[in-house]
């Protein structure tokens, strides 16, 4: 009898436990987010989640981090399988790959027009995530470029900050030669397997490997020719750069104090500041391509954006998180700028305190203000589906160009390789 009672009691407790569980799971929402650097983009999403939780205490964010290449492979495999099991609610995608995913997997991502005010974001970031007038991303970190340089080494060679304003690449090479001669420091570290610099030059003049409708824009493009010629000139001035191989040696070049400058995305700031050379660095605008129509001092390298998966069960909540925090919280952008060095794409963010602050590491320069000025000026281009293929074709020609090879031959070879690959 007692046993019987106990069983009834246990069943009752068990049943009420289940109903409690069901109740709490109906109220609590968990948004799963995939990103690739827990100290950078992962940390910014954590901050966003904390802010969102203030007004939405029932929403938690579950961050899963993978290596970037791993995340891309995983996403690709799962989207290709056509099963939506295990896909996250929000995923971070590198900007160069955005069009590839959007065009290869139509319907997989959620358009956010009407929910996000895109006029408040850097135009180039919006355009790269737009297909057929629908925009799919919440634009996140920008790879707005600048020329980071060692003020002490350049001063030793007789140059001031003013000498680096509004210069062309030819002038940059002249300066680099003087720096090398007077101080012995190479101006750059260059990896001949990496075509990132050519991408930077191309976009600074508003062009890409492809036309907006996806056709190769290589042979016959005056801008491509100018970009490759300029870079070849740099590569052939062998005394001004240190040849490096791989990322570690590349960053090691300037963090060790040997290399005097680096032109790259703003995300490099954290690496430069970790090198313990406070007061010795400055930031100048990117040099400009000479004699090219539409050439600017603003360009981009890398960067990424958040995308909501259409298959997500928590889609509305995920979109709301992006819209509420990422879409308008200027204070949030100050926080991630200070804590993670992340320069977002929300243009209004630059009115905040952190963006206006000066940085002693950069000799009291208001570097974030400069970067956000350039951010608004980056020419929009269409990255297309085959940026990686074109990149490989360009990289294959760099060693030949460094040894004095003909630019026209290189262009013909790149054009042929790209056309063969994208058929």
Q: Work out whether 274 is an interface residue with other proteins (CB under 8 A).
A: yes
According to DSSP, the residues that pair with 139 across neighbouring strands are 305
CB-wise, 193 or 256, nearer to other proteins? 256
Residues 249/264/352/360 CA torsion (nearest 10 deg): 50
Q: Work out whether 40 is an interface residue with other proteins (CB under 8 A).
A: yes
Measured between alpha carbons, how far is residue 95 from residues 125, 367, 400 in Å? Answer: 8, 24, 29
Interface residue with other proteins among 60, 171, 211, 271 (CB under 8 A) is 271
Interface residue with other proteins among 39, 278, 358, 388 (CB under 8 A) is 39
CB-wise, 149 or 267, nearer to other proteins? 267
Place of tokens 């790209």: 418
Residue 245 token pair: 């191989």
Residue 80 beta carbon to other proteins: minimum distance, rounded to whole angstroms: 5
Q: Among candidates 362, 402, 374, which has minimal Cα distance to 280?
A: 362
CB-wise, 31 or 407, nearer to other proteins? 31
What b-and-e string marks burial along 84-110, b requiring 16 or more CB atoms within 10 Å of the CB?
A: eeebbbbbbbbbbbbbbbbeebeebbb
Angle at the Cα of 224 from the Cα atoms of 194 and 250, rounded to 5 degrees: 20
* Strand-pair category, 137-150 with 281-284: antiparallel
CB 366 within 8 A of CB 357: yes
Q: Work out whether 267 is an interface residue with other proteins (CB under 8 A).
A: yes
Interface residue with other proteins among 46, 53, 56, 68 (CB under 8 A) is 68
* Dihedral of alpha carbons 347, 348, 349, 351, sign: positive
Residue 299 beta carbon to other proteins: minimum distance, rounded to whole angstroms: 19
Q: Work out whether 25 is an interface residue with other proteins (CB under 8 A).
A: no
Q: Work out whether 166 is an interface residue with other proteins (CB under 8 A).
A: no
Measured between alpha carbons, how far is residue 167 from residues 80, 132, 144, 290 in Å? Answer: 47, 38, 18, 9
Burial classification of residue 373, based on how many CB atoms lie within 10 Å of its CB (0-12 exposed, 13-18 middle, 19 or more buried): middle
Interface residue with other proteins among 26, 77, 162, 360 (CB under 8 A) is 77
Of 79-108, which residues contact other proteins (CB under 8 A)?
80-83, 85-86, 88
What is the C-alpha end-to-end distance of the chain, expressed in Å?
A: 79
Residue 420 beta carbon to other proteins: minimum distance, rounded to whole angstroms: 23
Contacts of 6 (CB under 8 A, 6+ apart): none
Binding mask 354-393 for other proteins (x = CB under 8 A): ----------------------------------------
Residue 271 beta carbon to other proteins: minimum distance, rounded to whole angstroms: 5
DSSP code per residue over 316-352: HHHHHHIIIIITT-HHHHHHHHHHH----SBGGGGGS
Taking the CB of residue 229, how many other CB atoms lie within 10 A of it? 19
Residue 85 beta carbon to other proteins: minimum distance, rounded to whole angstroms: 4
Residue 143 beta carbon to other proteins: minimum distance, rounded to whole angstroms: 11
Residue 42 beta carbon to other proteins: minimum distance, rounded to whole angstroms: 9
Interface residue with other proteins among 46, 60, 66, 171 (CB under 8 A) is 66
Compute the 3-state secondary structure of the chain and give helix, strand, coil in percent, each to the nearest 5. 50, 20, 30
Part of the chain binding other proteins (CB under 8 A), chosen from 31-39, 175-183, 288-296, 313-321: 31-39
Part of the chain binding other proteins (CB under 8 A), chosen from 7-15, 58-66, 164-172, 238-246: 58-66
Q: Work out whether 36 is an interface residue with other proteins (CB under 8 A).
A: yes
Binding mask 211-250 for other proteins (x = CB under 8 A): -------------------------------------x--
* Dihedral of alpha carbons 400, 402, 405, 407, sign: positive
CB-wise, 94 or 329, nearer to other proteins? 94
Q: Work out whether 275 is an interface residue with other proteins (CB under 8 A).
A: yes
CB 271 within 8 A of CB 196: no
Interface residue with other proteins among 29, 44, 48, 65 (CB under 8 A) is 65
CB-wise, 84 or 370, nearer to other proteins? 84
CB 47 within 8 A of CB 321: no
Q: Work out whether 278 is an interface residue with other proteins (CB under 8 A).
A: no
Q: How far is C-alpha 55 from the geometric centre of its chain's CA atoms?
A: 30
Residue 359 beta carbon to other proteins: minimum distance, rounded to whole angstroms: 17
Q: Work out whether 404 is an interface residue with other proteins (CB under 8 A).
A: no
Residues that bind other proteins (CB under 8 A): 36-40, 62-70, 73-74, 77-78, 80-83, 85-86, 88, 248, 251-252, 255-256, 267, 270-271, 274-276
């Amino acid at each position: 009898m007692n046993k019987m009672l106990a069983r009834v009691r246990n069943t009752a407790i068990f049943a009420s436990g289940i109903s409690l569980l069901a109740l709490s799971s109906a109220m609590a929402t968990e948004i799963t987010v995939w990103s690739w650097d827990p100290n950078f983009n992962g940390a910014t999403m954590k901050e966003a989640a904390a802010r969102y939780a203030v007004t939405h205490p029932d929403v938690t964010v579950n961050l899963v981090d993978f290596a970037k290449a791993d995340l891309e492979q995983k996403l690709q495999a799962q989207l290709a399988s056509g099963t939506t099991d295990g896909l996250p609610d929000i995923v971070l995608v590198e900007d160069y790959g955005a069009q590839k995913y959007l065009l290869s997997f139509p319907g997989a991502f959620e358009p956010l027009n009407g929910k996000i005010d895109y006029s408040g974001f850097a135009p180039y970031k919006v355009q790269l995530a737009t297909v057929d007038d629908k925009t799919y991303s919440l634009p996140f970190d920008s790879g707005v470029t600048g020329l980071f340089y060692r003020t002490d080494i350049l001063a030793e060679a007789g140059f001031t900050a003013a000498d680096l304003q509004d210069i062309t690449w030819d002038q940059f090479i002249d300066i680099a030669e003087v720096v090398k001669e007077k101080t012995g420091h190479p101006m750059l570290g260059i990896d001949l397997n990496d075509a990132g610099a050519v991408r930077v030059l191309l976009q600074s003049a508003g062009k890409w490997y492809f036309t907006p409708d996806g056709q190769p824009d290589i042979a016959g493009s005056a801008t491509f020719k100018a970009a490759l010629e300029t870079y070849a000139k740099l590569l052939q001035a062998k005394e001004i750069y240190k040849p490096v191989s791989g990322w570690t040696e590349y960053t090691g070049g300037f963090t060790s104090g040997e290399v005097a400058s680096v032109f790259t995305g703003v995300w490099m700031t954290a690496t430069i500041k970790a090198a313990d050379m406070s007061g010795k660095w400055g930031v100048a605008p990117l040099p400009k391509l000479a004699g090219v129509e539409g050439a600017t001092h603003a360009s981009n390298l890398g960067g990424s954006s958040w995308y909501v998966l259409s298959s997500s069960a928590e889609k509305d909540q995920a979109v709301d998180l992006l819209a509420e925090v990422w879409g308008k919280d200027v204070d949030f952008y100050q926080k991630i700028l200070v804590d993670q060095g992340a320069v977002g794409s929300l243009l209004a963010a630059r009115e905040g305190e952190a963006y206006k602050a000066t940085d002693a590491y950069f000799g009291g320069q208001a570097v974030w203000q400069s970067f956000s000025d350039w951010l608004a000026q980056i020419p929009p281009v269409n990255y297309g589906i085959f940026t990686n293929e074109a990149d490989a074709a360009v990289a294959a020609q760099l060693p030949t160009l460094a040894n004095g090879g003909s630019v026209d031959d290189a262009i013909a070879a790149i054009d042929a390789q790209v056309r063969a690959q994208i058929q």
